[in-house]
Structure 1
């Protein structure tokens, strides 16, 4: 009986009976209501299909890793590919001659010969939920990891079923902080994209291409305070839509997302976190009211200033550390005056010229700020 069950679960299925899973995290959200052609274009652009096509062209389809499928609800002879959409996409492009004459695909596919693949090996499951545990280990905690946005979409699907972050983390086998930040980031971006029509392009760019930056930002304590996130990720309220336009939470999250989406402000993840070798960071700026307000004002004015992050950082209020630095600098100036006064005859003309230049700079600074 067990043997019969195994044979039922594993079999070769005709390609024309297999369909891409439009809810798959690898498929861009904006493409999910489109046809296979647009989905395949998106997959080509985002997920290096050509590497897989080269492998299939040279070696054929290796059946050692079957697709994972479920029966389509309304059509008994059709199957949805839950795991293996990238492989199915590559096979579709290599076997269907219609793509050879297409303006987008013709040049890309011309180096590769038409494949005569008719069927693909598949494991058949009763429902999607039966596959999800395996996918969680494989793509979130395992060796074939998804990008942050893909992880978030998968975690969201589980969260909507479980409605409990702890249960989701148990299924996925990952830390609550990691999964909580992913889900929170996703809910906020989804909400803002729907609400901010004039800023939709910037927000969609962050969602599709730089989602990991928002997830990284939510791990910084200063940024969490800026966003008024006070609870732990296992107790936080994930209903972000309760925050309306004009609320501190909504406006600050919108600012954060716009800063992260703008390459002129954030072009590197280190500009979010900072550190000893790179103190200029969004995290440091958002810990200071004056610097934060400056960044907001310049953002509202659609500033073209290329060093906006540095300009904002330079407005951080004076603290005790800066006073110490000033005292150190003052002592060095006194030493410089001593050298100039008592050792002038031993100095070269070039050194004297440099000292005079430094003194002129100090005079200019004092006169400008007096």
Structure 2
């Protein structure tokens, strides 16, 4: 059997020769049946217009792709895969159905239509980039009938591994420092401007830690998530005094204190903020002197500090505990049997936190006696 890559050959086409697939498997995400348009109707103007409109649904994120292509151009490294349109019996009109790349074709058509109505003004060079395309032609006579599902599946199911938050932030930083505006940097990476700006600040915060003589060696990419949580918590961000002008935190003493809480102790003890989401609990106790004094003490821990806070502020936590107890009591045998692994893990985590809180209470009572 011939390998699938050997059934693909380079092909240069005009964008007018490409047809969006009206039976695109993506449309199942819209709750529609597949394979409901006959091959002979694919090139009908209204069929293509209707398919174009469906492809612009929010679920397919074509708008962000359009902005990226507008900023960077259409890059030839990511060629669309096409097959010959079988609905042309005379063979006089070479058209091709897109198997893999319907989002890209939609984005290109969208940009061209905006240019035609005067909402965008592209140069001749840009329009040439959008309309003269390098594709890969599938020999669908030799290829298995499943090829139209296998090829998109290679990309979208097993797919290209998406960048993690740190890698995205590093890319935003590099683009911003190269001279791009925050909006252009965001569009280049298919991000919203707000998300790109947040990533930029988080990256700067981690770089600030990296440049600290005392704590710099601990500023590894996995620490990035701590600063994501910081910027989600306005009171923590304010406590550390973030400055857009200085592109860093300016409250040096507090910054160093925060660093000390997110790294292991000298004797190998776990960090006082053992995971990034611990910043959420720090946010709750930050304005409470008693709780913060416990956190700062040599033997203090976040769980003990939170317990102190909850004892002093029962109105903040008791209703949540009562609601959790009520929810657990409502679990019928049938519900218990059908719990998925994620829900079970949450229940185990809740049990562990309750056990730890009760141990901390006993410890605090012992210190007072």
TM interval, short-chain normalised: 0.3 to 0.5
Q: TM-score, normalised by structure 2?
A: 0.37
Q: TM-score, normalised by structure 1?
A: 0.37
